[in-house]
Amino acid sequence: MADIQEVQYIWKNGEIIPWAEATTHVLSHSLHYGSGVFEGIRCYENPETHKSYVFRLQDHMERLVRSCKIAMIDLPYTADELVRATVDIIKANGLKKCYIRPLVYRGYGVMGVDPTGAPTDVIIAVWPWDAYLGAEALAKGIKVGVSSWRQRSNNAIPPAVKATASYMNSLLAKLEAKAHGYGEAIMLNEAGLVCEGTGENLFVVRNGVISTPPLSDGLLEGITRDSVLQIATDMFEDGEIDACPLEESLTRTDLYVADEVFMTGSAAELTPVASVDERQVGSGSRGPVTEALQARFFDAVYGNAERYADWLTEVE
């Protein structure tokens, strides 16, 4: 975790404005009722060519549009327009690599659970942000614990919407994990099956299978998750790894007996898990399948894997 590093500008409602002017009234609807949706995206700088690429920007913005539809928020921009705005704000701030936070929220004008009449505000903020779970975690892994907090069900806050309200649940699980000395939490769903982390999807490697819970078990349709599934499929079919990817429900004990466990997300990237509930996973560090997938993933985001070139939006 790290404090936000301020830059010069933020994109808000179609304009690039100074960072300090990107303010919101304290009576804005979303501040009181959690009625906002957002994305987390990364822009990477290739260390050799120094070209900058946003990873799966179009897919993220299309998911944002879907979230608005589910949440019944009137979004006044298309995914294509938001893609262009993202490139513009990165360039305006002169950044070669950064974290990107688009947010759509209901602004000031009405109060009460019914949001009818509240205006829609849209922002895209960018700032430097290194490894979310720590640089060492990418190699050594992190300690995680299964949370006492359950993930929301499909018919509570639908997991297909990346909503600000959903993250109260994640916040409670994260604070509990921190209090117990863990770097991250894993939440089960209401049926007691493994769901996801507080901001990450989850993968388990065991006996030649790379398993990840299906979307029907109540997890976010992660874009990094989808990327890793595709990479794993390609590498297995090409004979580069000997583990086949599979979507299947997992129990808590599947985590304890796994050969490898890793978490994926735009912020977390591809982070190995060293232990679960004080039970060491494999060697207690990054395993061979995780390492191979991690290497190919970073090849993709840095523009060094032609096979995945269509996942990248270059910032020129």
Query: Is 73 inside any structural domain?
Result: yes
Determine whether 162 is an active site residue: yes
- Return the pLDDT at 4: 87
Query: Is 183 inside any structural domain?
Result: yes
Domain of residue 298 covers: 137-304
- Dist. CA 173–CA 183, nearest whole Å: 11
Judge if 87 and 188 occupy the same domain: no
Query: Is 1 inside any structural domain?
Result: no
Note the pLDDT tens digit of each residue in 188-227: 999 999 999 999 999 999 999 999 999 999 999 999 999 9
Judge if 66 and 92 occupy the same domain: yes
Domain boundary among 99, 127, 155: 127
Alpha-carbon distances of 284 from 48, 62, 134, 255, rounded to whole Å: 32, 38, 17, 13
Bridging pattern class, strands 209-212 and 244-247: parallel
Nearest to 200 by CA among 127, 262, 129, 258: 262
Judge if 280 and 151 occupy the same domain: yes
Tell me the residue type at 237. Answer: E
Answer yes or no: are the C-beta atoms of 309 and 315 closer than 8 Å.
Answer: no
Start-to-end Cα distance in the chain: 29
Q: Which CATH number do you get for residue 49?
A: 3.30.470.10
Judge if 299 and 170 occupy the same domain: yes
- Return the pLDDT at 2: 66
- Return the pLDDT at 246: 97
Domain count of the chain? 2
Judge if 149 and 294 occupy the same domain: yes
Q: Which CATH number do you get for residue 191?
A: 3.20.10.10
Local structure of 88: helix, strand or coil = helix
Judge if 121 and 141 occupy the same domain: no
Query: Is 170 inside any structural domain?
Result: yes
Query: Is 222 inside any structural domain?
Result: yes
Place of tokens 């907090």: 149
* Set 12, 97, 143, 162: catalytic member: 162
Answer yes or no: are the C-beta atoms of 90 and 100 closer than 8 Å.
Answer: yes
> Is the per-residue pLDDT at 1 higher than 70?
no
Judge if 189 and 96 occupy the same domain: no
